[in-house]
A and B are shown apart, each in its own frame.
Chain A
Amino acid sequence: MTPAPLGRRPKLLEMQGVDKTFNGTVVALRRMALTVNAGDFISLLGPSGCGKSTALRLIAGLSHPTAGRIVWEGGQQQGDLAVVFQEPTLMPWATVAENVWLPLRLRGKSYASVEGDVIEALRLVGLERFLRAYPRELSGGMKMRVSIARALVTRPRLILMDEPFAALDEITRHRLNTDLLEMKARIGCTVIFVTHSVFESVFLSDRIVVMAARPGRVIRELTVDEAYPRGEAFRTSPEYAAHCRAASAALHEAMGEAA
């Protein structure tokens, strides 16, 4: 499913002047405004402590804004979102299939009734042959794929990803980047992706939100208006290099302001 061109996508949610303060003193986020449209692939790019993970937790509803609000278009429904953490966060006592089943199980669905969905989600990440394996038997990259399959199994409107590939080696990361774009295209969801990496953000997203630290805030938004699907060829294209330079400059600006 190819999303509508940027600027013609329906709004999914909006962060309106969101502040988040911890213990009354640490300002994690100040006046954050962000409109997320259906089909966007947004990267939150910035140095440590810029509040990108905090923003994600706020959108996930795991934490509440100190001020401002987060408004979902048409109201948020259960199952509208899924989260992928930096760690694969699998249950070690459960098989791959049981791990992917979890979100549906929590909605009271028996395994038999959703087995097709579980297998389909695992097929999307290329692990349909590992249903009965335990997480410990898988490599780091495969565990992350299971984690992504678990996020996909409910067919959420929005997937929040908090540096999911940061702990993986470069080769695996590139593979997963490519595969992630393919999965997104297939199920047509919206992704908000937190990362430290300029290259990853440019390769994956069509919008890059650059954030600065102390206090955490948005300083710039860039668009990467390049067509999907993007394959390995995109990584070596002059357009890619140009976007990387722009994002790098914005990131330096963010770090400079923080220093």
Chain B
Amino acid sequence: MTILHEGAAAVPVDAEELRRARQRRVERVARWVLPVAVLALGVLVWDRVVAWNDIPHYVLPSPGRVMRTLVADWPLLFDALLVTLQITMMALAVAVIGGVGLAILFTQSKWAEMSFYPYAVILQVTPVVSIAPLIFIYVESRTVGLLLCAWIVAFFPILANTTLGLNSADHNLRDMFRIYGATRWQRLRYLQLPSALPYFLGGLRIAGGLSLIGAVVAEYVAGTGGIGSGLAFRILEAGYRLNIPRMFAALLLIAASGVVIFAGLSFLSYMLLRKWHESALKRET
């Protein structure tokens, strides 16, 4: 048998590897350049369509006018943004507490899960727009009403994902905990909660976006009654006054908030999981 000795004379980096490295570099740049190019192109087309067709700004404002409005109306819009974000964040916080709390209750007690899970589902599948008017009739405080609406939308993904996560702890590890006489609390603390973390974070990312949607929708419903100060209310108000540029500016802020929330939660998820979870690990090919 002959053994071929390669490597000694071999070139350290072959052509295939070089090609792959080049491709990776191009992809890394393209990931940022392409979406920005699409945005620039979109804005340009939008601007030209408005200019060439002489479209009045109360029908379709040019991108430049939207930006000028954003700057000019900044104090008003920023205050509104803060109000909406406050509701969003509070709703998300309550969704986390409620979702995780219920999930823990469900995994500790089969009876509780059997009793309440169907109602959590019903709450989730009923459109919040149809519940919101009732909430604003029965709930005195507007803030609590908004919060309740946003919470109803946001808590379910956290509940569902965390419940799944708590139940998916490795069965051999469960056995080991039993052998070592772990208490219920120890099992929860050292086994089930860490197992559930990636699932919870997945749910949290969805819930972040949903609580913004919930807050905005609730503001709409509350806003039609003439009360409110959040971004959705500003959009409604601007619509009544045919202040289309401000509607666009407010819309821009809501979209940007959604992106920031998603990015922030994705980053949080990455930081918490980067040491050990498959989803956060970089792999060689």
Of B15-23, B68-76, B129-137, B189-197, the one contacting chain A is B189-197
Residue of A nearest to B194 (CB): A93
> Is A259 among interface residues, defined by CB-CB distance under 8 A?
no
Inter-subunit contact A62/B178 (CB<8 Å): yes
> Is A149 among interface residues, defined by CB-CB distance under 8 A?
no
Inter-subunit contact A102/B190 (CB<8 Å): yes
Residue of A nearest to B178 (CB): A62
Enumerate B165-190 residues with CB–CB distance to A below 8 Å: 170, 172-173, 175-182, 186, 190
Partner of B276, one of A87, A107, A134: A134
Residue of A nearest to B275 (CB): A134
A61-B176 contact given A102-B190, A134-B275, CB 8 Å threshold: no
Residue of A nearest to B191 (CB): A91
* Bound form: Cα–Cα A62–B276 in Å: 29
Of A78-86, A197-205, A223-231, the one contacting chain B is A78-86
Residue of A nearest to B169 (CB): A91
Query: B-facing mask of A93-118, CB < 8 A → 1, else 0?
Result: 11000000011011100000000000
A91-B179 contact given A85-B172, A134-B275, A136-B276, CB 8 Å threshold: no
Partner of A89, one of B173, B178, B276, B277: B173
- B25–chain A nearest beta-carbon distance, Å: 27
* Bound form: Cα–Cα A49–B126 in Å: 50
Residue numbers in A under 8 Å from B177 (CB-CB): 106
Interface centre among B170, B176, B182, B186 (most CB of A within 10 A): B176
Residue numbers in A under 8 Å from B180 (CB-CB): 78-79, 102-103, 106-107, 154
Residue numbers in B under 8 Å from A89 (CB-CB): 170, 172-173, 176
Inter-subunit contact A82/B190 (CB<8 Å): no
Residue numbers in B under 8 Å from A61 (CB-CB): 178-179
* Bound form: Cα–Cα A85–B178 in Å: 14
Partner of A92, one of B172, B178, B179, B276: B276
Inter-subunit contact A105/B175 (CB<8 Å): no
Residue numbers in A under 8 Å from B178 (CB-CB): 61-62
Enumerate B102-130 residues with CB–CB distance to A below 8 Å: none
Residue numbers in B under 8 Å from A82 (CB-CB): 179
- B62–chain A nearest beta-carbon distance, Å: 52
Number of interface residues of B (CB under 8 A): 20
* Bound form: Cα–Cα A91–B197 in Å: 13
Number of interface residues of A (CB under 8 A): 24
Residue numbers in A under 8 Å from B175 (CB-CB): 60, 62, 83, 85
A83-B276 contact given A93-B194, A105-B190, CB 8 Å threshold: no
> Is B82 among interface residues, defined by CB-CB distance under 8 A?
no
- A148–chain B nearest beta-carbon distance, Å: 13
Residue numbers in B under 8 Å from A78 (CB-CB): 180-181
* Bound form: Cα–Cα A91–B190 in Å: 9
Inter-subunit contact A136/B281 (CB<8 Å): yes
- A161–chain B nearest beta-carbon distance, Å: 13
* Bound form: Cα–Cα A105–B186 in Å: 9
Inter-subunit contact B172/A87 (CB<8 Å): yes
Residue of B nearest to A108 (CB): B186
Residue of B nearest to A134 (CB): B276
* Bound form: Cα–Cα A83–B276 in Å: 24
Enumerate B130-149 residues with CB–CB distance to A below 8 Å: none
- B165–chain A nearest beta-carbon distance, Å: 12
Query: B-facing mask of A59-85, CB < 8 A → 1, else 0?
Result: 011100000000000000011011101
- B70–chain A nearest beta-carbon distance, Å: 44
- B186–chain A nearest beta-carbon distance, Å: 6
Residue numbers in A under 8 Å from B277 (CB-CB): 92-93
Query: B-facing mask of A188-216, CB < 8 A → 1, else 0?
Result: 00000000000000000000000000000
Chain B interfacial positions (CB closer than 8 Å to A)? 170, 172-173, 175-182, 186, 190-191, 194, 197, 275-277, 281
Q: A93-B197, A103-B180, A106-B190 are in contact. List 17 more A-B contacts (CB 8 A).
A: A60-B175, A78-B180, A79-B180, A82-B179, A83-B175, A83-B179, A85-B175, A89-B170, A91-B191, A91-B194, A93-B275, A93-B277, A102-B180, A105-B190, A106-B180, A134-B275, A134-B276
Chain A interfacial positions (CB closer than 8 Å to B)? 60-62, 78-79, 81-83, 85, 87, 89, 91-94, 102-103, 105-107, 134-136, 154
3 nearest A-B residue pairs (beta carbon):
A89-B172, A106-B180, A93-B194
Give 5 A-B contacts (CB < 8 Å), ordered by A residue: A62-B175, A83-B175, A83-B179, A92-B277, A105-B190
